[in-house]
Amino acid sequence: MSADVPEWPTGLAAALADAMAAGAAAGGAFSTARSAALDAAEAFPGEECDLLDASGLARAYVPERLGGVAGGLPELLSALREVARRDVTVAVAHGKTFLGSVSTWVAGTEDQQRALARLVTDENAVVAWGLTERGMGSDLLAGNLTATPEPDGTWRITGEKWPINNATRGRLICVLARTDPAGGPRGFSLFLIDKSALPEGAWEPLPKEPTHGIRGADISGLRLRDAPVPADALVGGVGDGLGIVLRALQLTRTLCAALSLGAGEHALRLVADFAVERALHGTRLALLPLARRVLGRAAASLALADAAALLGGRSAHGLPGEMSAVSATVKAGVPWIVQQAIDDLAELLGARGFLTEQHADGMFQKLERDHRIVAVFDGSTAVNRSLLISQFPLLARLIRKGSYDATGLAAVTGGAPLPELDPAALRLVSRTGCSIVQAVPDTAERITALAAAGELPPRAAELAALLAERTGALADAMAELPPTGRNAPAAAFAVARQFEACFAGAAALHLLAVPCAADRAVVLTAALERCLELLVPGHQAPSDAFEPLVTPLVQPVEEPVR
Amino acid sequence: MSDITDAPATADATEVRAWLRECVATYVRLPAEDIDENLPLSEYGLDSVYVLSLCADIEDRYGIEVEPTLLWDHPAIGPISEALAPLLAAR
């Protein structure tokens, strides 16, 4: 039965968890004291990255056919989330190599892919991704770093990229460079530059920028001065840069969910442990109804975000043509949902949530700061919501039609092995909309039937019907918005948030519709309940809606000895 | 975009041009007659990412597959219509 259930791959994540636990237990890498000290000193987590190198994390950045791990994007999400559960800063510092490499997987030649795969897997080469420049904001076409062709087919590159994660530590950096002085969507190209092959004086690092969160990460920049770059550094064709970057971002934006989920789970664990320890009013915090409600709701938020991330990651393999919609939704929605959980948990922790040396070496305030940056990476929440809004006219039409890619959706929501990720199948704009959302009414009917047959709790059927109704209302709200070329109105952003919640709820719904163990059905039902809270102002969840998620978090808990 | 979801039985560059004009006019909230067919769409605020949604509209209306970069290579309504003509003829 469980073979039919789509699950997170756990092989690499489990190996990483063991290695990190061993390091922490010895008071070394990944111990809370060390994480706190590195954060306070704004020092790079070098030993931590070495430990991850030794545990094979880099193989998750490389396609399977080039020597990478087998599980594709879900495996990478699962592995990076495991790291983020311990320390978001380390996950950001190490995971960047995937971002630097992904353009080559999307558009590189076979030779380019093999050469990069070898550097990443055999030498743990650090690869940065240089898109942004000072003063250009999120506009990919505002960059001034320029590549000029030489008569012999090589290139000369001059300009700056900033602020860039691992710009200084990275041996390689993939840069978006202007190749047509006039710019425009065909005016930019990608180059994978090996800094170690550049002559002295052709490049210099720009200083590390102090940051509010991820303080230890190498957030710096790179200045190139007439840097000579070989012909085979060009990734894709001249003028293909924007299209490659937009498709690469579909994968990296989805991956950002791993950072959010890890941070959220870290927060939940810290606060649950605190609630078990904390004695007050002659009892334990974990036994007070209000505290239990907060813990349970946070757990349900994380279960909802987990469902969105799981089906989002699987969509890259099973519904690659829809990733323009899916990735923007996941990138905006998951950090939004998780941030609310972290905010609620912070209230339960009270003052300890702000103290840097109390309760687990101040890990909560660190993860809280670290998590805020996730909403900024790879296009801010506003950028991703704009991308989503630009697709509203088609999405609204397809929700109303109820049409979707049934074959692709079955690959994403079923338990059969996923097809290998085919970057060539990623499209700049989805033709079939977002099947996960469009299929809500059909899947809701299946849930109703399963509940009638006693295979799911009756509440699941009620929630499924509510979600189907809200999905229809969402399509109406999307269709009523005036189409916009840019500068979407504030009302459109509120509708985008609803779409994100609806997508996450839809993901939980599809997972509920496949035969699963009873405890999984309970968690997914609670996730749906949380989704309806987000979608419907004033939605009244039953008082015990989240309670089943609390018990496993706070066991064992006893009344304090008086 | 519009409520018209069924592709017209026949479509040529002229029909596409008129329909695109209306699309763009709706996006930028101007009368269709004020839309210049030879002015780059970016001049109307349809940037390189937003113009991709126009590609989805075209595919949905005419039931054809359009490589989205066609709208980058042909940045105004007139050239887009010419580039779409062979795709429409091959339907």
Quick check: A185 and B72 CB within 8 A? Answer: yes
Report chain B residues whose CB lies below 8 A from the CB of A427. Answer: 68
Cα–Cα distance, A556 to A276 (Å, whole number): 8
Cα–Cα distance, A85 to A367 (Å, whole number): 9
Quick check: A485 and B48 CB within 8 A? Answer: no
Residue A399 has pLDDT above 90, yes or no: yes
Q: Is residue B69 part of a domain?
A: yes
Q: What is the CA radius of gyration of chain A?
A: 23
Where along chain A do the CATH 1.10.540.10 domains lie? 2-124
Q: pLDDT, tens digit, for every residue of A386-397? A: 999 999 999 999
Quick check: B26 and A483 CB within 8 A? Answer: yes
CB neighbours of A323 closer than 8 A, spacing ≥ 6?
A247, A250, A251, A254, A315, A316, A426, A427, A430
* pLDDT greater at residue A352 or residue A271: A271
Q: pLDDT, tens digit, for every residue of A411-426? A: 999 988 999 999 999 9
Q: pLDDT grade, residue B83 (50/70/90)? A: very high
Q: Please tell me the total count of domains within chain B.
A: 1
Report chain A residues whose CB lies below 8 A from the CB of B55. Answer: 428-429
User: If you write DSSP's letter for every residue of A75-135 in order, what string do you get?
Assistant: HHHHHHHHHHHH-HHHHHHHHHHHHHHHHHHHH--HHHHHHHHHHHHHH---EEEE---TT
Quick check: A390 and B45 CB within 8 A? Answer: no
Q: pLDDT, tens digit, for every residue of A268-293? A: 999 999 999 998 888 999 999 999 99
Chain A residue with Cα closest to B3: A397
Residue A208 has pLDDT above 50, yes or no: yes
Tell me how far the alpha carbon of residue A536 is from its chain's centroid: 25
Q: pLDDT grade, residue B9 (50/70/90)? A: low
Question: Which residue among A186, A427, A482 places its CB closest to the CB of B72?
Answer: A186
Q: Is residue B40 part of a domain?
A: yes
Q: Is residue B83 part of a domain?
A: yes
Query: How close, in Å, is residue A130 to chain B by CA atoms?
Result: 19
Quick check: B69 and A246 CB within 8 A? Answer: no
Average pLDDT, chain A: 94
> How large a percentage of chain A has pLDDT more than 90?
88
Q: Is residue B3 part of a domain?
A: no
Q: What is the mean pLDDT of residues A334-346?
A: 97
Cα–Cα distance, A80 to A76 (Å, whole number): 6
Q: What is the mean pLDDT of residues A289-308?
A: 97
- In degrees, to the nearest 5, what angle opens at C-alpha B35 toward C-alphas B30 and B41? 100
pLDDT at residue number A561: 59
Q: Is residue B5 part of a domain?
A: no
**Residue the block writes with tokens 């998951």:** A334
Query: How close, in Å, is residue A481 to chain B by CA atoms?
Result: 10
Report chain B residues whose CB lies below 8 A from the CB of A401. Answer: 5
Q: Is residue B51 part of a domain?
A: yes
- DSSP state for residue A380 in the 8-state scheme: -
Residue A316 has pLDDT above 80, yes or no: yes
Cα–Cα nearest to A78, from A17, A18, A15, A9: A9
The region of weakest confidence among A116-130, A320-334, A480-494, A522-536 is: A480-494
CB neighbours of A352 closer than 8 A, spacing ≥ 6?
A274, A358, A359, A364
Helix (H, G, I), strand (E, B) or coil at A225: strand
Strands A146-149 and A155-165: antiparallel
Percent helix, percent strand, percent coil in chain A, to nearest 5: 60, 10, 30
Q: pLDDT grade, residue B10 (50/70/90)? A: low
| Contact (Cβ atoms closer than 8 angstroms) between residue A258 and residue A378 | no
Assigned CATH class of A2-124: mainly alpha
- In degrees, to the nearest 5, what angle opens at C-alpha A253 toward C-alphas A397 and A245? 90
Q: What is the mean pLDDT of residues B49-62?
A: 88
Residue A484 has pLDDT above 50, yes or no: yes
Q: pLDDT, tens digit, for every residue of A445-479? A: 999 999 999 999 999 999 999 999 999 999 999 99
Assigned CATH class of A128-238: mainly beta
Chain B residue with Cα closest to A396: B1
Query: What's the one-letter identity of residue A409?
Result: L
Q: Would you state the structure tokens that stand for residue A495, as one six-digit string?
A: 């509708």
Q: Is residue B33 part of a domain?
A: yes
Report chain B residues whose CB lies below 8 A from the CB of A243. Answer: 68-69, 72
Q: How many Cβ contacts (< 8 angstroms) between chains A and B?
A: 69
Torsion of CA A112, A117, A122, A123, to 10 degrees: 70
Buried-state track A161-184, b at ≥16 Cβ within 10 A, e below 16: bbebbbbbbbbbbbbbbbbeeeeb
- Of the residues B29, B39, B43, B53, the best mutation for testing chain A's interface (the one with the most A CB atoms within 10 Å of its CB) is B53
Residue A556 has pLDDT above 80, yes or no: no
Q: pLDDT grade, residue A133 (50/70/90)? A: very high
Query: How close, in Å, is residue B8 to chain A by CA atoms?
Result: 17
Quick check: A401 and B5 CB within 8 A? Answer: yes
Where along chain A do the CATH 2.40.110.10 domains lie? 128-238
Question: Which residue among B50, B59, B69 places its CB closest to the CB of A431?
Answer: B59
Q: pLDDT, tens digit, for every residue of A422-443? A: 999 999 999 999 999 999 999 9
Q: pLDDT, tens digit, for every residue of B64-74? A: 999 999 999 99
Query: How close, in Å, is residue B80 to chain A by CA atoms?
Result: 15
Buried-state track B21-42, b at ≥16 Cβ within 10 A, e below 16: bebbbbbbeeeeeebeeeeebb
Q: What is the mean pLDDT of residues A359-363?
A: 86
Cα–Cα distance, A408 to A429 (Å, whole number): 16
Quick check: B49 and A387 CB within 8 A? Answer: yes
Question: Which residue among A186, A390, A394 places its CB closest to the CB of B49?
Answer: A390
Q: pLDDT grade, residue A485 (50/70/90)? A: low
CB neighbours of A288 closer than 8 A, spacing ≥ 6?
A281
Q: Is residue B7 part of a domain?
A: no
Cα–Cα distance, A98 to A251 (Å, whole number): 10
pLDDT at residue number B46: 85
CATH code of residue B73: 1.10.1200.10
Question: Which residue among A184, A242, A485 places its CB closest to the CB of B28?
Answer: A485
- In degrees, to the nearest 5, what angle opens at C-alpha B34 toward C-alphas B30 and B40? 90
Residue A562 has pLDDT above 80, yes or no: no
Query: How close, in Å, is residue B14 to chain A by CA atoms?
Result: 23
Domain range enclosing B17:
13-89
Interface of B with A (CB under 8 A): 1, 5, 26-29, 42, 44-50, 52-53, 55-57, 59-60, 65, 68-69, 72-73, 75
CB neighbours of B6 closer than 8 A, spacing ≥ 6?
none
pLDDT at residue number A560: 66
> What ipTM was predicted for this assembly?
0.88
Torsion of CA A332, A334, A336, A342, to 10 degrees: -160
